[in-house]
Amino acid sequence: MTSPDGSAPSPRPETQWRGPSLRAVMIGIFVLGGLMALQMHRAYVQGEQVVQAMFPVMAERGKSLDAEGCIDAVIAWHKQCEATAVMCNHGVKQAMFHCLQAQDRKEGCTKLPASESMDGKWVFLTCKERGTQCKRTKDCACADAYRAFDSFCRTDQKAVQL
């Protein structure tokens, strides 16, 4: 094809994008996703080991602690817990169970507020009175420890509801 003046047509400028191919981008995304999944799995395994290692320690300490002592020990452990925040928060109830089951807690259970008078806020008031006020109601080791103690007493010292 010739132009109207009889000369050869000028070539069209290339407008193709000269970046990485879609395949290279997708491979990069999958590799990055795989590395992130691997790192998350490692963090989970390490956190689980930290939480699991605490159970025998709390069971041993529970032999010499009263219920309030168990609460203090679990709160202290929670402050220094090296797992993820979610795992540490969930570990509070489990740690309380291991500490509490080490001996009979009938005497401590009688000191809890009567179930008729409980409105759910008593744990926050109790924590505030003992100097460990909850800043966030969902993530409060003190409140979770008292709830675990209450649950332990309500199940006749057989379990803590998670």
Q: Would you state the pLDDT for residue 8?
A: 61
Q: Would you state the pLDDT for residue 98?
A: 93
Q: What is the pTM for the complete model shown? A: 0.73
Task: Report, as ranges of residue numbers, the positions in the chain whose pLDDT lies below 70.
Answer: 1-17, 114-120, 162
Q: Would you state the pLDDT for residue 110?
A: 84
H helices present in 63-162, as ranges: 67-80, 85-100, 106-110, 122-129, 141-154
Q: Would you state the pLDDT for residue 7?
A: 62
Q: Would you state the pLDDT for residue 27?
A: 92
Contact by Cβ (8 Å): 113, 122:
yes
Q: Would you state the pLDDT for residue 115?
A: 61
Segment 70-76 long-range contacts (CB within 8 Å, at least 24 positions apart): 70/96, 70/99, 70/100, 70/145, 70/149, 71/96, 71/142, 71/145, 71/146, 71/149, 73/99, 74/99, 74/141, 74/145, 75/132, 75/141, 75/142, 75/145
Contact by Cβ (8 Å): 62, 104:
no
